[in-house]
Amino acid sequence: MLEETGLECLELQEFKILSGEKMYHKYPNGDEIYSIEMVFLCEKYRGELKVQEEEVTEQRFFDLDDLPENISPHQVEVIQMLVERYK
């Protein structure tokens, strides 16, 4: 997390491991992958968001009712699981 965001986790909790056919992706160049995603929750952190300009143009936090439209399908599934957990 530190490398990608500039934030350091102070507490980390395993939430979900996703794998299998749902994790299939075909890239525009034709490459195909099955990924494994390990999702962790971090409620306590320190630092400030920083942008790695060679990889992203912006980083920020979003309210659950104000999410961007271009979220990857895998991330949408995880967000839905989190909403269910915290209802």
pLDDT digits (tens, 9 = 90+) for 42-66: 989 999 998 888 888 888 888 877 8
Q: Are 6 and 47 in contact (CB under 8 A)?
A: yes
Report the SS3 class of residue 79: helix
What's the CA gap between 11 and 29, in Å, rounded? 38
What's the CA gap between 52 and 35, in Å, rounded? 23
What's the CA gap between 35 and 24, in Å, rounded? 7
The answer to whether residue 85 is domain-embedded is no
Its domain, for residue 12, covers 2-62
Our count of domains for the chain comes to: 1
Residue 13's pLDDT band, with cuts at 50, 70 and 90, is very high
Residue 79's pLDDT band, with cuts at 50, 70 and 90, is confident
pLDDT mean over 2-9: 91
The answer to whether residue 72 is domain-embedded is no
